[in-house]
Protein backbone atom coordinates (compact mmCIF):
# COMPACT_ATOMS: atom_id res chain seq x y z
CA UNK A 1 0.00 0.00 0.00
CA UNK A 2 1.34 3.42 -0.94
CA UNK A 3 0.30 6.87 0.20
CA UNK A 4 0.86 10.00 -1.86
CA UNK A 5 0.47 13.28 -0.05
CA UNK A 6 0.29 16.73 -1.59
CA UNK A 7 -0.67 20.30 -0.83
CA UNK A 8 1.99 21.66 1.48
CA UNK A 9 3.73 24.97 1.01
CA UNK A 10 4.37 28.42 2.36
CA UNK A 11 1.44 30.48 3.63
CA UNK A 12 1.10 33.67 5.62
CA UNK A 13 -0.40 33.66 9.11
CA UNK A 14 -4.18 33.63 8.88
CA UNK A 15 -4.12 31.89 5.53
CA UNK A 16 -5.39 28.48 4.45
CA UNK A 17 -3.99 25.34 2.89
CA UNK A 18 -5.51 22.02 1.92
CA UNK A 19 -3.58 18.78 2.18
CA UNK A 20 -4.60 15.63 0.35
CA UNK A 21 -3.45 12.04 0.59
CA UNK A 22 -4.36 9.18 -1.72
CA UNK A 23 -3.94 5.53 -0.84
CA UNK A 24 -3.30 2.96 -3.55
CA UNK A 25 -2.39 -0.68 -3.86
CA UNK A 26 -3.93 -3.88 -2.62
CA UNK A 27 -6.66 -2.40 -0.44
CA UNK A 28 -9.82 -4.22 0.56
CA UNK A 29 -10.96 -1.78 3.18
CA UNK A 30 -9.76 1.29 5.04
CA UNK A 31 -10.37 2.08 8.67
CA UNK A 32 -9.01 5.19 10.33
CA UNK A 33 -7.27 7.84 8.23
CA UNK A 34 -5.26 10.51 9.98
CA UNK A 35 -2.86 13.42 9.68
CA UNK A 36 0.09 13.68 12.02
CA UNK A 37 2.57 16.51 12.17
CA UNK A 38 6.09 16.96 13.39
CA UNK A 39 7.63 20.34 14.04
CA UNK A 40 11.39 20.81 14.21
CA UNK A 41 12.81 19.46 17.48
CA UNK A 42 9.40 18.11 18.54
CA UNK A 43 7.78 14.69 18.56
CA UNK A 44 5.26 13.66 15.96
CA UNK A 45 1.72 14.35 17.12
CA UNK A 46 -1.77 13.59 15.92
CA UNK A 47 -3.40 16.58 14.26
CA UNK A 48 -6.67 15.01 13.12
CA UNK A 49 -8.22 11.61 12.45
CA UNK A 50 -11.37 10.26 10.87
CA UNK A 51 -12.77 6.76 11.26
CA UNK A 52 -14.52 4.64 8.66
CA UNK A 53 -17.84 5.70 10.17
CA UNK A 54 -16.95 9.38 9.84
CA UNK A 55 -16.17 10.16 13.46
CA UNK A 56 -13.46 12.77 13.82
CA UNK A 57 -10.87 13.65 16.43
CA UNK A 58 -8.72 16.75 16.57
CA UNK A 59 -5.79 17.95 18.63
CA UNK A 60 -6.88 20.77 20.89
CA UNK A 61 -4.46 23.11 19.12
CA UNK A 62 -6.23 22.73 15.76
CA UNK A 63 -9.87 22.41 16.81
CA UNK A 64 -12.20 24.85 15.07
CA UNK A 65 -9.48 25.63 12.50
CA UNK A 66 -8.77 22.32 10.74
CA UNK A 67 -11.29 20.04 9.07
CA UNK A 68 -10.51 16.44 8.13
CA UNK A 69 -12.56 14.65 5.49
CA UNK A 70 -12.37 11.49 3.43
CA UNK A 71 -13.58 10.14 0.12
CA UNK A 72 -14.21 6.45 0.63
CA UNK A 73 -14.60 5.67 -3.06
CA UNK A 74 -11.27 7.27 -3.92
CA UNK A 75 -9.37 6.19 -0.78
CA UNK A 76 -8.36 9.76 -0.08
CA UNK A 77 -8.16 11.88 3.04
CA UNK A 78 -7.91 15.65 3.11
CA UNK A 79 -7.09 18.25 5.72
CA UNK A 80 -8.44 21.76 5.28
CA UNK A 81 -6.33 24.07 7.40
CA UNK A 82 -7.70 27.54 8.10
CA UNK A 83 -6.51 30.46 10.21
CA UNK A 84 -3.00 29.06 10.12
CA UNK A 85 -0.53 30.12 12.77
CA UNK A 86 3.27 30.05 12.80
CA UNK A 87 3.09 27.23 15.35
CA UNK A 88 1.35 25.08 12.73
CA UNK A 89 4.63 24.96 10.84
CA UNK A 90 5.57 21.30 10.56
CA UNK A 91 5.93 18.37 8.25
CA UNK A 92 2.52 16.74 7.91
CA UNK A 93 2.21 12.99 7.43
CA UNK A 94 -0.88 11.06 6.43
CA UNK A 95 -1.49 7.70 8.04
CA UNK A 96 -3.92 5.02 6.93
CA UNK A 97 -4.96 1.76 8.55
CA UNK A 98 -6.78 -0.95 6.71
CA UNK A 99 -6.95 -4.46 5.34
CA UNK A 100 -5.41 -5.83 2.17
CA UNK A 101 -7.29 -8.01 -0.29
CA UNK A 102 -5.66 -11.16 1.03
CA UNK A 103 -6.62 -10.28 4.58
CA UNK A 104 -3.55 -8.90 6.30
CA UNK A 105 -3.71 -5.59 8.08
CA UNK A 106 -1.62 -2.60 7.10
CA UNK A 107 -0.62 0.71 8.64
CA UNK A 108 0.92 2.99 6.05
CA UNK A 109 2.58 6.40 6.19
CA UNK A 110 2.87 9.03 3.52
CA UNK A 111 6.16 10.71 2.67
CA UNK A 112 5.41 13.94 4.51
CA UNK A 113 4.58 17.35 3.16
CA UNK A 114 6.03 20.54 4.61
CA UNK A 115 3.75 23.35 5.76
CA UNK A 116 5.43 26.63 6.61
CA UNK A 117 3.42 29.47 8.12
CA UNK A 118 5.39 32.67 8.00
CA UNK A 119 5.12 36.28 6.95
Whether residue 103 has pLDDT greater than 90 = no
Three-point CA angle 29, 35, 38, nearest 5°: 140
Cβ-based neighbours of 20, under 8 Å, separated by 6 or more: 5, 6, 7, 76, 77, 78, 79
Whether residue 9 has pLDDT greater than 90 = yes
Which pLDDT tens digit goes with each residue over 18-44? 999 999 999 999 999 999 999 999 999
C-alpha–C-alpha distance, residues 85 and 66, integer Å: 12
pLDDT-based confidence at residue 54 (cuts at 50, 70, 90)? very high
The torsion defined by the Cα of 22, 24, 30 and 34, in degrees rounded to 10, comes to: -30
Question: Mean pLDDT score of the chain, rounded to an integer?
Answer: 96
Q: Where are the alpha helices (DSSP H) in the chain?
A: none
Whether residue 110 has pLDDT greater than 90 = yes
Look at the chain and count its residues.
119
Amino acid sequence: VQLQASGGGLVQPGGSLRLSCAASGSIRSIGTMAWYRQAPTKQRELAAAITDSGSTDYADSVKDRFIISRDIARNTVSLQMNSLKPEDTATYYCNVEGTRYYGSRFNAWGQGTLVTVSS
